[in-house]
Chains A and B, each alone.
Chain A
Amino acid sequence: MGKAVHVRKVVRGVAEGAALVCPGSFSFLGDVDLETGVIIAAGNPNQGQALAGRVLIYKETKGSSGGCVVLQALARLGRAPSALVTVKPADYNLAEGAILAAIPFVCEPDGDVLGGIANGQLVRVDADGGVVEVLG
């Protein structure tokens, strides 16, 4: 992908952070430890990594409607991602959690964010401008 892709805004805001790229689907209930915000799902290539402050990029949201409660609880502890990027259309329930936690959330990029962005690259998510940009 180029340095920037266009995305659909789900929840407003602008945020930066090191990318955390999960190629598969992700469930906030079950895949992440509620206390530490560390990914615990055995099948996830980023098992052991913390979500805090990262731009979380993944294919689609799965799992229980408790997901929005988990996202809000992580935000209360200061352990939530700084922004959310999903390839598939956004999940209603997770959007409710992102709105309350004021976490920028975008979806449906027009470029390959899963293959084109590497873990740890600094990424800027501008939900209002509809752009995800690799800064370095």
Chain B
Amino acid sequence: MLNGAAGEIRREALDYIVQFGEAFDAPCLVDISYCHYPAEMGIYAGSVEDAVAYAQRCAAEQAVAQASLLADKSAPLLTDQSRQAQRLALPGIRVAVPTTTSTLCCDLERPGSTGCPPALEALQAQIAGAHRSLGMLETYTCTPQQLGFVPPFGSYIVSVESSAIIYFNSVLGARTNRGGLLTRYSAVCGKYPLMGYLLTANRRGTHLFNIDVPPQRLSTCDGWSALGFHVGGLVGSAVPVLAGLPPQIRQEWLISLGAALATSGAVTLFHIPGQTPEARTLEEAFQGGQPEAVYTVTERDLDAVYEKMRTIPRGAAVDFVTLGCPHYNLEQLRVVAELLRGRRVAGGVRCWVCTNRMTRAAAASAGYVQAIEQAGALVVADTCPVESHMRASTCREYGLAVPNVTAMVTDSVKMARYVGDLIGCNTALTDVDGCIAAGLSGRWQ
């Protein structure tokens, strides 16, 4: 591949990955089995244009290869018919492994629904054709694992999106670093350097957290989100081990936990002894070694996170409610539909329930989308508030009011943390019931 026999596109892709491996003394490259590909968002200058140009380069190189095969008369026994068959069998220049895509800055399935400026929406829409021609899947979600992309234990993958990365590593036992711009080239050549969290030694737990919190505080996504935010702030980029948790943990709670760990810290992997696959025991979590530090987490630590995230005064008006950070699954949409059925979101409040488009289709067939939207809320796919045009920098660029939101209530500490700075709004963290109550009353109580 490196000598160009497989074409310039693949040579270039592999060359980048080799350089990356050399930069960190990786002993070799390994084959990967899956990629979760970065958002190429209209809100980043040049990003969509670059992706479209790359897809065009791939298509052009493939067209040249096909033409030269058809023109090759050196094999006289080859009939035109068999040449044509061979041409059709020529592998396309596209991703080498199943590749899902991360979130965009608008809902491409429902243009105009999120308030995104039409020019920005049109720019963003160009991305779909580019991804399709490269063989990428138009999932546009931060939680591809909820769509059935569940790489096997021990498999090497490349992923962006910190909440997905930490879930793949910790809950599934697949192996990935925090991917960046080179994910495109890994997807095309199917390789990644053997380094970082791909190596067993780097997956050893470093810090022990004894969780001494009443179980009812850990029975909703916001509770797990607060726990993750507290722990992530203490460990930075290390590998926390969380002991003393209740035995029956739901998938969405672990998604919330991971998203928060990767918000206050740069946590890529956590272990829960007896629950996650590389920590059947406490000893295994630390690979037989000792923790560098031991902490106890109490209810007060969780309270402090809620207090830090609450910048909306009691009784003040709320103009935005966000559910679905990370993107909600079908069960979570069902619960929201039950809470909203037959009720009405207060005037002046935008209430977004964010998910991916496949889950939205399933929720529509079960009637959940209708129940939620008849109440005046919106089921949004492909994006979320923090990835959308509502960022202050994008609002300024497109001449929209800044800040776009004044007071947002959410059940996700990740959403609260990022919209505070990037949209410039006040926030409050509470459970789904509290979020819906704020949406119905238009007040933070």
Is chain B a partner of chain A in the same complex?
A: yes
Which A residues are closer than 8 A to B by beta carbons? 9-12, 34, 65, 68-69, 72-73, 76, 90, 92-93, 95-97, 99-100, 105
- Interface mask (B173-189 → A, CB under 8 Å = 1, otherwise 0): 00001101110000000
Q: Which residues of A contact B177 (CB under 8 A)?
A: 92
Give Cα distance in the complex from A93 to B23, angstroms: 11
Is there an interface contact between A92 and B180, defined as CB atoms closer than 8 Å?
yes
Give Cα distance in the complex from A72 to B49, angstroms: 14
Within the complex, the shortest CB–CB distance from B67 to chain A, in Å, comes to 30
Is there an interface contact between B44 and A96, defined as CB atoms closer than 8 Å?
no
Q: Which of B23, B44, B178 contacts A69 (CB 8 A)?
A: B44
Is there an interface contact between A95 and B20, defined as CB atoms closer than 8 Å?
yes
Please, which residue of chain B has its CB at the minimum distance from the CB of A127? B23
Within the complex, the shortest CB–CB distance from B248 to chain A, in Å, comes to 33
| Residue B153 lies at the interface, judged by CB distance under 8 Å to chain A | no
Within the complex, the shortest CB–CB distance from A74 to chain B, in Å, comes to 11
Within the complex, the shortest CB–CB distance from B46 to chain A, in Å, comes to 5
Is there an interface contact between A97 and B180, defined as CB atoms closer than 8 Å?
yes
- Interface mask (B13-27 → A, CB under 8 Å = 1, otherwise 0): 000100110111000
Is there an interface contact between A90 and B181, defined as CB atoms closer than 8 Å?
no
Is there an interface contact between B182 and A96, defined as CB atoms closer than 8 Å?
yes
Please, which residue of chain A has its CB at the minimum distance from the CB of B421? A30
Is there an interface contact between B24 and A100, defined as CB atoms closer than 8 Å?
no
Q: Which residues of B contact A105 (CB under 8 A)?
A: 23
Contacts A65-B180, A92-B196, A93-B180; A99 near B16 (Cβ below 8 A): yes
Q: Which residues of B contact A93 (CB under 8 A)?
A: 178, 180
What would 10 A/B residue contacts be, using CB atoms closer than 8 Å? A9-B22, A65-B162, A69-B181, A73-B44, A73-B45, A76-B45, A90-B23, A90-B24, A97-B181, A100-B182
Is there an interface contact between A99 and B182, defined as CB atoms closer than 8 Å?
yes
Is there an interface contact between B46 and A73, defined as CB atoms closer than 8 Å?
yes
Which B residues are closer than 8 A to A by beta carbons? 16, 19-20, 22-24, 44-47, 162, 177-178, 180-182, 196, 266
Is there an interface contact between B181 and A95, defined as CB atoms closer than 8 Å?
no
Is there an interface contact between A100 and B16, defined as CB atoms closer than 8 Å?
yes
Q: Which residues of A contact B24 (CB under 8 A)?
A: 10, 90, 92, 95
Is there an interface contact between B180 and A96, defined as CB atoms closer than 8 Å?
yes
Within the complex, the shortest CB–CB distance from B327 to chain A, in Å, comes to 19
Give Cα distance in the complex from A93 to B182, angstroms: 9
Please, which residue of chain B has its CB at the minimum distance from the CB of A35? B45
Within the complex, the shortest CB–CB distance from A99 to chain B, in Å, comes to 5
Please, which residue of chain B has its CB at the minimum distance from the CB of A72? B181
Give Cα distance in the complex from A72 to B182, angstroms: 12
Is there an interface contact between A11 and B19, defined as CB atoms closer than 8 Å?
yes
Is there an interface contact between B46 and A96, defined as CB atoms closer than 8 Å?
no
Please, which residue of chain A has its CB at the minimum distance from the CB of B20? A99
Interface centre among B177, B180, B196, by most chain A C-beta atoms within 10 angstroms, is: B180
Is there an interface contact between B19 and A99, defined as CB atoms closer than 8 Å?
yes
Q: Which residues of A contact B45 (CB under 8 A)?
A: 34, 73, 76
Interface centre among B22, B44, B181, B266, by most chain A C-beta atoms within 10 angstroms, is: B181
Is there an interface contact between A12 and B178, defined as CB atoms closer than 8 Å?
no
Q: Which residues of B contact A10 (CB under 8 A)?
A: 23-24
Give Cα distance in the complex from A97 to B177, angstroms: 15
Please, which residue of chain A has its CB at the minimum distance from the CB of B47? A69
Give Cα distance in the complex from A103 to B144, angstroms: 33
Is there an interface contact between A96 and B162, defined as CB atoms closer than 8 Å?
no
Give Cα distance in the complex from A105 to B23, angstroms: 9
Within the complex, the shortest CB–CB distance from B85 to chain A, in Å, comes to 38
Please, which residue of chain A has its CB at the minimum distance from the CB of B25? A8
Contacts A69-B44, A76-B46, A90-B24; A12 near B181 (Cβ below 8 A): no
Q: Which of B23, B46, B47, B266 contacts A99 (CB 8 A)?
A: B23
Give Cα distance in the complex from A73 to B44, angstroms: 9
Within the complex, the shortest CB–CB distance from A134 to chain B, in Å, comes to 24
Q: Which residues of B contact A9 (CB under 8 A)?
A: 22-23
Give Cα distance in the complex from A9 to B20, angstroms: 11
Within the complex, the shortest CB–CB distance from A103 to chain B, in Å, comes to 12
Q: Which of A34, A65, A97 contacts B178 (CB 8 A)?
A: A65
5 tightest Cβ-Cβ pairs between the two chains A and B? A96-B180, A10-B23, A96-B182, A68-B180, A93-B180
Please, which residue of chain B has its CB at the minimum distance from the CB of A76? B46
Give Cα distance in the complex from A31 to B296, angstroms: 35
Q: Which residues of A contact B196 (CB under 8 A)?
A: 92
Give Cα distance in the complex from A65 to B180, angstroms: 7
Please, which residue of chain B has its CB at the minimum distance from the CB of A11? B23
Q: Which residues of A contact B19 (CB under 8 A)?
A: 11-12, 99
Within the complex, the shortest CB–CB distance from A115 to chain B, in Å, comes to 26
Within the complex, the shortest CB–CB distance from A118 to chain B, in Å, comes to 28
Give Cα distance in the complex from A96 to B193, angstroms: 12
Give Cα distance in the complex from A73 to B40, angstroms: 13
Please, which residue of chain A has its CB at the minimum distance from the CB of B23? A10
Within the complex, the shortest CB–CB distance from A90 to chain B, in Å, comes to 7
